Amino acid sequence: MDKLTGLATSVLTLTSGLAIVTSTSQTVLAQVVTLQPGTFSYQAADLLAETPINLEEFCKVYPLNSRCVPTQPVTPQPPQPTQETTQTGPTTSGWGVTPEISTLGIGATVTKSITPNLNAKLGVRGFGTNANISESGIDYDAKLNLFSVSTLVDYHPWKNSGFRLTGGLVFQDNNIEGTGKSNSNQKIQIGDQEYTSDQLGSVKAKVSFPNSVAPYLGIGWGNAVKPGNRWSFSANLGVMFTGSPKVNLAPQFGGAATPEIRNQIQADVEKERQQLENDLKWLNIYPVLSLGLSYQF
């Protein structure tokens, strides 16, 4: 029994010798365990007294101790947000111009984006041509005059589609003017009556539409101000409600036309005018077809 007690005392003395009171680094405290007489333990915790230990000196002797191997805490990294890469086209202004050819003539339309589905348009078109025809001794000179200014709105039901509905007003002055006169002694026939060039020198005619401000409805394809697009194709199909054409006939009397002949000519000319208007009554709507190429600034 005295031998065991002496052995335990020697171990405690050896362990206490490792403890250097002066320490500039972290200190470790151990629990005091009192060995009962007659007991023996190999655990370091049972052998260490509650005495400050110089950690630097301790780790030189026991480098693999858990107190001596530093472990860096693992800090979880928050997930990096993924940035979606979107491919965008060239920067555009929302203003576009469309040169076009149509049944209203040759011209251009300026388009401005109002909302993603709505565009406003202002267009100007015009055309003129002459035709000279001689038939059976009668010279016919005709001139076609086309001029219009349109204020329209395009509605695109689907943003990614070029299909559109179009409505608005067209300020138009479309007409045909002509003159018929004899180039010889050939008689001019008005209705069932014939007149010599001395009685009736010529007849001037003009055909025009009564609605100078005509409503327009139509459909089309293409968006001149679609975001990211510089160039696009444009097509329109619609109608203008111009009203049935009006005919004006003005006879130019010759020197041999007596008052009776003049009255007869006036009556025949009026009858002919009414017949022409009746023949053109079906043209109360004016068809509009146009094709163009749009550029957005």
Query: What are 61-114's pLDDT values in tens digits?
Result: 777 766 666 655 556 677 666 555 555 556 778 999 999 999 999 999 999 999
Q: Quick check: 155 pLDDT over 80?
A: yes
Cα 17 from Cα 10, distance rounded (Å): 11
- Token readout for 235 is 């097509």
Which of residues 58 and 127 earns the better pLDDT score? Answer: 127
Task: Give residues with Cβ within 8 angstroms of 60, minimum separation 6.
Answer: none
Residue type for position 30: A
Cα 252 from Cα 272, distance rounded (Å): 15
Residues 228/174, Cβ–Cβ less than 8 Å: no
Return the domain boundaries, the chain. 2-61, 95-296
User: Looking at 6-15, 180-189, 210-219, which range is the least confident one?
Assistant: 6-15
Q: Quick check: 11 pLDDT over 80?
A: no
Highest mean predicted confidence (pLDDT) among 13-17, 128-132, 156-160: 128-132
Cα–Cα nearest to 125, from 103, 107, 137: 107
Cα 232 from Cα 247, distance rounded (Å): 41
Mean of the pLDDT values across residues 122-149? 92
pLDDT at residue 8, rounded to an integer: 47
Cα 13 from Cα 71, distance rounded (Å): 32
Cα 16 from Cα 50, distance rounded (Å): 10
Alpha carbon separation from 24 to 27, 53, 56, 134 (Å, rounded): 9, 10, 9, 125
Query: What are 14-64's pLDDT values in tens digits?
Result: 444 444 333 444 444 444 445 555 554 545 555 555 556 777 777 777 777
Question: What are the two backbone dihedrals, phi and then psi, of residue 90, each rounded to the nearest 5 degrees?
Answer: -65, 150
Residues 201/181, Cβ–Cβ less than 8 Å: yes
The residues pairing with 148 across neighbouring beta strands, listed in sequence order, are 125, 172
Cα 18 from Cα 58, distance rounded (Å): 8
**CATH topology classification for 95-296:** Porin (2.40.160)
Q: What is the 8-class DSSP label of residue 64?
A: T
- 3-class SS at 46? helix
- Token readout for 254 is 């010759």
Query: What are 232-280's pLDDT values in tens digits?
Result: 999 999 999 999 999 999 999 988 999 999 999 999 999 999 999 999 9
Output the pTM of the full model: 0.66
Please identify which residue in the block is written with the tokens 């950690």: 55
